[in-house]
């Protein structure tokens, strides 16, 4: 198994449909609970274990998901309220080194629970017209709202798999 991409990279095959988007939104809704379940029995030493050689610790992964999904929430709102806004990228690796990434994981898990309720409600309010709207990422180019919903459903599963595959490898 590829420890860096345990579920593979995000691939969008075909057209964005209502059923596909609803599936992605359901995955986004379920993520906070799945993350919570994955880390609930880990001790401090386990939380501070890297999921792969050279990778972030479990703790950093949880905090990164919160950081990333907060940015995603804002990007979705910008994309549907402005004409092709240019979004601000951020230095994920540097954010993962900041002091708040050493806080207890429960803080980010609670944040994700509330954030994903709002995010799912926002995404469900969108239809095909909103899915076609976009933002411009200075490094990735033009990204449609529809594709970004799929990317964030994948993103959550990707990082959850980092944690769950570590748990399996370590027998935790």
> What does the domain layout of the chain look like in residue ranges?
18-170
Q: pLDDT by residue (tens digit) across 98-155?
A: 999 999 999 999 999 999 999 999 999 999 999 999 999 999 999 999 999 999 999 9
Helical segments of 4-95, H only: 18-39, 44-47, 58-81, 92-95
User: Which position has the token pair 């239809």?
Assistant: 127
pTM over 0.95: yes
Residue 132 corresponds to which tokens in the numbers above? 């076609």
Q: Are strands 141-144 and 134-137 parallel, antiparallel or unpaired?
A: antiparallel
User: What percent of the chain clears pLDDT 90, i.e. is strictly above it?
Assistant: 99
- From the DSSP assignment, how many helices (H) and strands (E) are in the chain? 7, 2
Q: How are the residues of the chain apportioned to helix, strand and coil, as percentages rounded to the nearest 5?
A: 65, 5, 30
Topology of the domain comprising 18-170: 1.20.120
pLDDT at site 20: 97
- Region 46-74 average pLDDT: 98
Residue 143, helix vs strand vs coil: strand
């Amino acid at each position: 198994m590829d420890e860096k991409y345990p579920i593979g990279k995000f691939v969008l095959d075909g057209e964005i449909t209502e059923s596909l988007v609803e599936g992605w939104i359901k995955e986004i809704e379920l993520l906070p609970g799945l993350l919570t379940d994955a880390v609930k029995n880990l001790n401090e030493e386990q939380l501070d274990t890297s999921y792969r050689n050279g990778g972030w610790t479990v703790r950093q992964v949880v905090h990164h998901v919160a950081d990333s999904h907060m940015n995603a929430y804002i990007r979705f709102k910008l994309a549907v309220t402005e004409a092709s806004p240019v979004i601000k990228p951020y230095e994920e690796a540097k954010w993962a080194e900041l002091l708040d990434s050493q806080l207890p994981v429960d803080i980010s898990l609670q944040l994700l629970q509330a954030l994903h309720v709002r995010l799912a409600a926002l995404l469900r309010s969108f239809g095909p017209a909103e899915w076609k709207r976009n933002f411009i990422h200075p490094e990735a180019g033009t990204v449609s709202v529809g594709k970004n919903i799929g990317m964030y459903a994948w993103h959550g599963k990707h990082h959850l798999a980092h944690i769950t595959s570590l748990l399996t490898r370590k027998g935790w």
